[in-house]
Protein backbone atom coordinates (compact mmCIF):
# COMPACT_ATOMS: atom_id res chain seq x y z
CA UNK A 1 0.00 0.00 0.00
CA UNK A 2 2.81 2.41 0.88
CA UNK A 3 4.48 1.90 -2.50
CA UNK A 4 1.20 2.54 -4.30
CA UNK A 5 0.54 5.69 -2.29
CA UNK A 6 4.07 6.98 -2.88
CA UNK A 7 3.80 6.32 -6.62
CA UNK A 8 0.57 8.29 -6.75
CA UNK A 9 2.22 11.19 -4.90
CA UNK A 10 5.11 11.11 -7.38
CA UNK A 11 2.53 11.17 -10.14
CA UNK A 12 1.11 14.42 -8.79
CA UNK A 13 -2.16 13.07 -7.40
CA UNK A 14 -3.39 15.64 -4.88
CA UNK A 15 -5.54 13.23 -2.89
CA UNK A 16 -2.56 10.94 -2.37
CA UNK A 17 -0.45 13.90 -1.29
CA UNK A 18 -3.12 15.03 1.16
CA UNK A 19 -3.37 11.53 2.60
CA UNK A 20 0.41 11.36 3.03
CA UNK A 21 0.47 14.66 4.92
CA UNK A 22 -2.34 13.42 7.17
CA UNK A 23 -0.37 10.25 7.92
CA UNK A 24 2.66 12.36 8.82
CA UNK A 25 0.60 14.59 11.13
CA UNK A 26 -0.93 11.61 12.92
CA UNK A 27 2.38 9.80 13.32
CA UNK A 28 1.20 6.81 11.29
CA UNK A 29 4.10 4.30 11.15
CA UNK A 30 3.30 3.58 7.50
CA UNK A 31 4.29 7.16 6.65
CA UNK A 32 7.91 6.09 7.09
CA UNK A 33 7.63 3.67 4.18
CA UNK A 34 6.04 6.30 1.98
CA UNK A 35 8.69 8.90 2.79
CA UNK A 36 11.49 6.39 2.17
CA UNK A 37 10.21 5.93 -1.36
CA UNK A 38 9.62 9.66 -1.91
CA UNK A 39 12.94 10.88 -0.53
CA UNK A 40 15.15 10.08 -3.57
CA UNK A 41 12.90 12.31 -5.66
CA UNK A 42 13.32 15.40 -3.47
CA UNK A 43 15.64 18.37 -3.84
CA UNK A 44 14.05 20.12 -6.81
CA UNK A 45 11.68 22.50 -5.00
CA UNK A 46 12.62 25.81 -3.41
CA UNK A 47 11.19 26.57 0.03
CA UNK A 48 10.38 30.10 1.19
CA UNK A 49 9.41 30.87 4.79
CA UNK A 50 7.16 33.86 5.51
CA UNK A 51 7.24 34.93 9.15
CA UNK A 52 6.71 37.99 11.36
CA UNK A 53 4.44 39.36 14.08
CA UNK A 54 0.66 38.85 13.90
CA UNK A 55 -1.30 41.27 11.75
CA UNK A 56 1.43 42.14 9.23
CA UNK A 57 -0.43 40.50 6.35
CA UNK A 58 1.53 37.26 6.00
CA UNK A 59 -1.43 35.34 4.55
CA UNK A 60 -2.06 38.06 1.97
CA UNK A 61 1.63 38.07 1.04
CA UNK A 62 1.55 34.30 0.57
CA UNK A 63 -1.66 34.55 -1.47
CA UNK A 64 -0.26 37.21 -3.79
CA UNK A 65 3.10 35.50 -4.10
CA UNK A 66 1.36 32.26 -5.09
CA UNK A 67 -0.64 34.18 -7.68
CA UNK A 68 2.57 35.66 -9.10
CA UNK A 69 4.29 32.27 -9.21
CA UNK A 70 1.35 30.74 -11.07
CA UNK A 71 1.55 33.54 -13.63
CA UNK A 72 5.14 32.40 -14.19
CA UNK A 73 3.98 28.86 -14.84
CA UNK A 74 5.31 27.53 -11.51
CA UNK A 75 3.43 25.09 -9.27
CA UNK A 76 3.06 25.98 -5.60
CA UNK A 77 2.67 24.18 -2.30
CA UNK A 78 1.50 26.19 0.72
CA UNK A 79 1.85 25.08 4.33
CA UNK A 80 0.03 27.54 6.59
CA UNK A 81 0.87 26.91 10.24
CA UNK A 82 -2.01 27.83 12.52
CA UNK A 83 -2.68 27.71 16.28
CA UNK A 84 -4.06 24.41 17.55
CA UNK A 85 -7.77 24.23 18.25
CA UNK A 86 -8.37 23.47 21.96
CA UNK A 87 -11.40 21.38 20.94
CA UNK A 88 -10.32 19.33 17.91
CA UNK A 89 -6.52 19.55 18.07
CA UNK A 90 -6.54 20.66 14.44
CA UNK A 91 -5.50 23.91 12.80
CA UNK A 92 -7.69 26.65 14.23
CA UNK A 93 -8.05 28.79 11.10
CA UNK A 94 -8.36 25.95 8.62
CA UNK A 95 -7.29 26.50 5.02
CA UNK A 96 -6.94 30.26 4.89
CA UNK A 97 -9.98 32.14 3.63
CA UNK A 98 -7.73 34.69 1.93
CA UNK A 99 -6.33 31.93 -0.28
CA UNK A 100 -9.67 30.57 -1.47
CA UNK A 101 -9.09 31.88 -5.00
CA UNK A 102 -6.54 29.08 -5.47
CA UNK A 103 -8.78 26.19 -4.42
CA UNK A 104 -9.79 25.23 -7.96
CA UNK A 105 -6.23 25.53 -9.28
CA UNK A 106 -4.55 22.13 -9.47
CA UNK A 107 -1.21 23.94 -9.59
CA UNK A 108 -1.63 25.15 -5.99
CA UNK A 109 -1.83 22.83 -2.99
CA UNK A 110 -2.80 24.41 0.35
CA UNK A 111 -2.56 22.70 3.72
CA UNK A 112 -3.06 24.10 7.20
CA UNK A 113 -0.85 22.61 9.90
CA UNK A 114 -1.55 22.81 13.63
CA UNK A 115 1.27 23.83 15.97
CA UNK A 116 0.04 21.24 18.51
CA UNK A 117 1.66 23.21 21.31
CA UNK A 118 5.18 22.92 19.96
CA UNK A 119 7.61 25.71 20.80
CA UNK A 120 8.92 28.06 18.15
CA UNK A 121 5.54 28.36 16.43
CA UNK A 122 6.56 25.67 13.93
CA UNK A 123 5.86 21.94 14.35
CA UNK A 124 8.64 19.49 13.60
CA UNK A 125 6.52 17.61 11.08
CA UNK A 126 6.63 20.58 8.65
CA UNK A 127 10.09 19.44 7.52
CA UNK A 128 8.70 16.09 6.42
CA UNK A 129 5.70 17.76 4.79
CA UNK A 130 8.02 20.01 2.78
CA UNK A 131 9.82 16.93 1.46
CA UNK A 132 6.50 15.34 0.49
CA UNK A 133 5.46 18.46 -1.44
CA UNK A 134 8.89 18.50 -3.06
CA UNK A 135 8.53 14.89 -4.21
CA UNK A 136 5.04 15.69 -5.53
CA UNK A 137 6.65 18.12 -7.97
CA UNK A 138 5.83 21.51 -6.50
CA UNK A 139 8.28 24.08 -7.84
CA UNK A 140 8.00 26.45 -4.88
CA UNK A 141 6.86 25.69 -1.33
CA UNK A 142 5.66 28.59 0.80
CA UNK A 143 5.61 28.08 4.58
CA UNK A 144 3.69 30.68 6.57
CA UNK A 145 4.31 30.62 10.31
CA UNK A 146 1.72 31.17 13.01
CA UNK A 147 3.03 34.65 13.80
CA UNK A 148 4.15 34.78 17.40
CA UNK A 149 6.99 37.24 17.08
CA UNK A 150 10.50 36.38 18.14
CA UNK A 151 9.78 32.68 18.71
CA UNK A 152 9.75 32.08 14.94
CA UNK A 153 13.37 30.94 14.86
CA UNK A 154 12.25 27.44 13.83
CA UNK A 155 11.63 28.67 10.29
CA UNK A 156 15.39 28.68 9.76
CA UNK A 157 15.34 24.90 9.87
CA UNK A 158 12.65 24.63 7.21
CA UNK A 159 13.14 27.30 4.53
CA UNK A 160 15.84 27.94 1.95
CA UNK A 161 15.01 31.66 2.09
CA UNK A 162 13.36 33.39 5.06
CA UNK A 163 11.21 36.50 4.60
CA UNK A 164 10.41 38.55 7.72
CA UNK A 165 7.33 40.73 7.26
CA UNK A 166 6.69 43.92 9.24
CA UNK A 167 4.26 46.84 9.13
CA UNK A 168 4.79 50.58 9.82
CA UNK A 169 2.47 50.58 12.84
CA UNK A 170 4.25 47.69 14.56
CA UNK A 171 5.60 49.70 17.45
CA UNK A 172 7.71 46.81 18.68
CA UNK A 173 9.13 45.91 15.28
CA UNK A 174 12.64 47.18 15.93
CA UNK A 175 12.58 45.69 19.43
CA UNK A 176 11.58 42.37 17.87
CA UNK A 177 14.55 42.60 15.54
CA UNK A 178 16.87 43.20 18.47
CA UNK A 179 15.37 40.18 20.21
CA UNK A 180 16.67 37.82 17.55
CA UNK A 181 14.45 37.87 14.47
CA UNK A 182 17.09 39.91 12.62
CA UNK A 183 19.35 36.87 12.67
CA UNK A 184 16.95 34.69 10.68
CA UNK A 185 15.90 37.01 7.85
CA UNK A 186 17.25 36.80 4.32
CA UNK A 187 14.80 39.46 3.16
CA UNK A 188 12.72 42.06 5.00
CA UNK A 189 9.32 43.13 3.76
CA UNK A 190 7.65 46.31 5.00
CA UNK A 191 4.05 45.44 4.11
CA UNK A 192 1.16 47.91 4.01
CA UNK A 193 3.77 50.37 2.77
CA UNK A 194 1.11 52.95 1.85
CA UNK A 195 0.73 53.74 5.54
CA UNK A 196 2.61 56.45 7.38
CA UNK A 197 6.00 55.45 8.69
CA UNK A 198 6.84 52.79 6.08
CA UNK A 199 9.90 54.58 4.74
CA UNK A 200 11.10 55.41 8.25
CA UNK A 201 10.81 51.76 9.28
CA UNK A 202 12.65 50.64 6.15
CA UNK A 203 15.40 53.14 6.96
CA UNK A 204 15.63 51.92 10.56
CA UNK A 205 15.93 48.28 9.47
CA UNK A 206 18.56 49.21 6.88
CA UNK A 207 20.53 51.10 9.52
CA UNK A 208 20.43 48.13 11.87
CA UNK A 209 21.62 45.85 9.08
CA UNK A 210 24.57 48.12 8.49
CA UNK A 211 25.61 47.59 12.10
CA UNK A 212 25.09 43.83 11.98
CA UNK A 213 27.71 41.18 11.34
CA UNK A 214 27.15 40.19 7.71
CA UNK A 215 30.34 38.19 7.39
CA UNK A 216 28.33 35.42 5.72
CA UNK A 217 28.39 37.51 2.56
CA UNK A 218 24.64 38.02 1.99
CA UNK A 219 23.24 41.49 2.60
CA UNK A 220 19.48 41.13 3.35
CA UNK A 221 17.26 43.26 1.16
CA UNK A 222 14.59 45.57 2.58
CA UNK A 223 11.53 45.73 0.33
CA UNK A 224 8.27 47.69 0.42
CA UNK A 225 5.00 45.93 -0.49
CA UNK A 226 1.26 46.49 -0.49
CA UNK A 227 0.14 42.89 -0.71
CA UNK A 228 -3.59 43.64 -0.77
CA UNK A 229 -3.04 45.80 -3.89
CA UNK A 230 -0.51 43.39 -5.42
CA UNK A 231 2.25 46.02 -5.25
CA UNK A 232 5.88 44.95 -4.83
CA UNK A 233 5.20 41.21 -5.15
CA UNK A 234 7.25 40.72 -8.32
CA UNK A 235 10.13 42.61 -6.68
CA UNK A 236 9.83 40.30 -3.67
CA UNK A 237 10.14 37.24 -5.90
CA UNK A 238 13.13 38.82 -7.66
CA UNK A 239 14.75 39.33 -4.24
CA UNK A 240 14.12 35.71 -3.31
CA UNK A 241 15.64 34.68 -6.64
CA UNK A 242 18.74 36.76 -5.93
CA UNK A 243 19.15 35.05 -2.56
CA UNK A 244 18.71 31.65 -4.16
CA UNK A 245 21.43 32.45 -6.70
CA UNK A 246 23.72 33.56 -3.87
CA UNK A 247 23.16 30.35 -1.92
CA UNK A 248 23.68 28.22 -5.00
CA UNK A 249 26.92 29.98 -5.96
CA UNK A 250 28.39 29.81 -2.44
CA UNK A 251 27.29 26.28 -1.57
CA UNK A 252 25.02 27.61 1.16
CA UNK A 253 21.90 26.01 -0.30
CA UNK A 254 23.24 22.49 0.02
CA UNK A 255 24.58 23.26 3.49
CA UNK A 256 21.16 24.47 4.67
CA UNK A 257 19.42 21.43 3.25
CA UNK A 258 21.92 19.01 4.77
CA UNK A 259 21.48 20.61 8.19
CA UNK A 260 17.71 20.45 7.75
CA UNK A 261 17.81 16.69 7.15
CA UNK A 262 20.09 16.17 10.15
CA UNK A 263 17.84 18.18 12.46
CA UNK A 264 14.71 16.44 11.14
CA UNK A 265 16.20 13.07 12.10
CA UNK A 266 17.25 14.20 15.58
CA UNK A 267 13.94 15.98 16.27
CA UNK A 268 11.95 12.96 15.09
CA UNK A 269 13.89 10.66 17.40
CA UNK A 270 13.39 13.05 20.32
CA UNK A 271 9.68 13.43 19.64
CA UNK A 272 9.10 9.71 19.21
CA UNK A 273 11.02 8.84 22.38
CA UNK A 274 8.88 11.31 24.29
CA UNK A 275 5.67 9.91 22.78
CA UNK A 276 6.62 6.34 23.63
CA UNK A 277 7.68 7.28 27.15
CA UNK A 278 4.34 8.98 27.82
CA UNK A 279 2.49 5.98 26.40
CA UNK A 280 4.37 3.61 28.72
CA UNK A 281 3.41 5.60 31.82
CA UNK A 282 0.09 3.81 32.00
CA UNK A 283 1.47 0.40 31.02
CA UNK A 284 4.81 -0.04 32.78
CA UNK A 285 4.45 -0.83 36.52
CA UNK A 286 8.11 -0.11 37.32
CA UNK A 287 8.07 3.24 35.58
CA UNK A 288 4.74 4.17 37.15
CA UNK A 289 6.14 3.35 40.61
CA UNK A 290 9.22 5.46 39.88
CA UNK A 291 7.01 8.42 38.99
CA UNK A 292 4.99 7.98 42.18
CA UNK A 293 8.22 8.00 44.18
CA UNK A 294 9.32 11.17 42.42
CA UNK A 295 5.96 12.83 43.11
CA UNK A 296 6.18 11.77 46.76
CA UNK A 297 9.75 13.07 47.12
CA UNK A 298 11.18 9.63 47.91
CA UNK A 299 13.11 9.89 44.62
CA UNK A 300 14.85 12.90 43.06
CA UNK A 301 13.72 13.87 39.50
CA UNK A 302 17.05 14.84 37.91
CA UNK A 303 19.07 11.95 39.29
CA UNK A 304 16.45 9.33 38.41
CA UNK A 305 16.14 10.72 34.86
CA UNK A 306 19.90 10.50 34.36
CA UNK A 307 19.95 6.99 35.82
CA UNK A 308 17.23 5.87 33.39
CA UNK A 309 19.08 7.40 30.44
CA UNK A 310 22.36 5.79 31.53
CA UNK A 311 20.73 2.36 31.92
CA UNK A 312 20.52 1.13 28.34
CA UNK A 313 18.44 -1.90 29.33
CA UNK A 314 15.75 0.10 31.12
CA UNK A 315 15.63 2.75 28.41
CA UNK A 316 15.31 0.17 25.64
CA UNK A 317 12.50 -1.50 27.58
CA UNK A 318 10.63 1.76 28.02
CA UNK A 319 10.81 2.93 24.41
CA UNK A 320 10.22 -0.49 22.86
CA UNK A 321 7.29 -1.38 25.05
CA UNK A 322 9.00 -4.49 26.39
CA UNK A 323 8.84 -5.77 29.95
Using CA atoms, how far residue 224 sits from 159, 202, 219, 256, in Å, is: 21, 8, 16, 27
Written as one string, the DSSP assignment of 125-193 is THHHHHHHHHHTT-SEEEEE----GGGGGGGGGT-SEEEEEE-TT-TTHHHHHHTTGGGG-SEEEE-ST
CA–CA–CA angle 167, 170, 174 (5° rounding): 100
pLDDT for 54 equals: 79
Q: How far is CA 234 from the centre of its chain?
A: 23
| 78, containing H or E segment | strand 76-82
CA 207-151-164 angle, to 5 degrees, is 40
Task: Report the distance separating Cα 42 and Cα 54, nearest Å.
Answer: 32
pLDDT of residue 270: 85
Residue 157 · residue 260 · CB < 8 Å = yes
Host H or E run for residue 72: none
pLDDT value at residue 215 = 64
Q: Tell me the pLDDT of the chain (323 aa) as tens digits.
A: 788 999 999 999 999 999 999 999 888 889 999 999 999 999 999 999 998 887 888 989 999 999 999 999 999 999 988 765 444 444 444 445 556 666 678 899 999 887 655 544 467 789 999 999 999 999 999 999 876 544 456 788 899 999 999 888 765 555 555 555 667 889 999 999 999 989 988 988 888 888 776 666 888 999 999 999 999 999 999 999 999 999 999 999 999 999 999 988 988 888 888 888 887 777 778 888 888 999 999 999 999 888 877 765 555 565 665 54
> Which residues does 101 contact at the CB level (< 8 Å), separation at least 6?
63, 67
Question: Which pLDDT does position 11 carry in this prediction?
Answer: 94
Q: Which contacts of 170-175 are long-range, i.e. CB under 8 A and separated by 24 or more positions? A: 170/53, 170/55, 170/56, 170/201, 172/53, 173/53, 173/201, 174/201, 174/204, 174/205, 174/208
pLDDT of residue 179: 53
Residue 49 is predicted with a pLDDT of: 94
Are 147 and 52 in contact by the 8 Å Cβ rule? The answer is yes
Q: pTM for the whole thing?
A: 0.86
Amino acid sequence: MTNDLADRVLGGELRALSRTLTMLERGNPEAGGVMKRLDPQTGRSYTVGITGPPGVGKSTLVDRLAEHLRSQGLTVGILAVDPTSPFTGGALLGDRIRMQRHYLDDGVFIRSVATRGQSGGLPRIVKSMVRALDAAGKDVILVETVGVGQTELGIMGVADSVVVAMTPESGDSIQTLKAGVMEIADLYVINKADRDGANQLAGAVTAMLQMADLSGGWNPQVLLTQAYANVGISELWDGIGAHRDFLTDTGGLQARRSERRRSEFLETVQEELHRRLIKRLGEDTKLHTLLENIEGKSAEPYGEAMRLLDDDVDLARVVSGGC
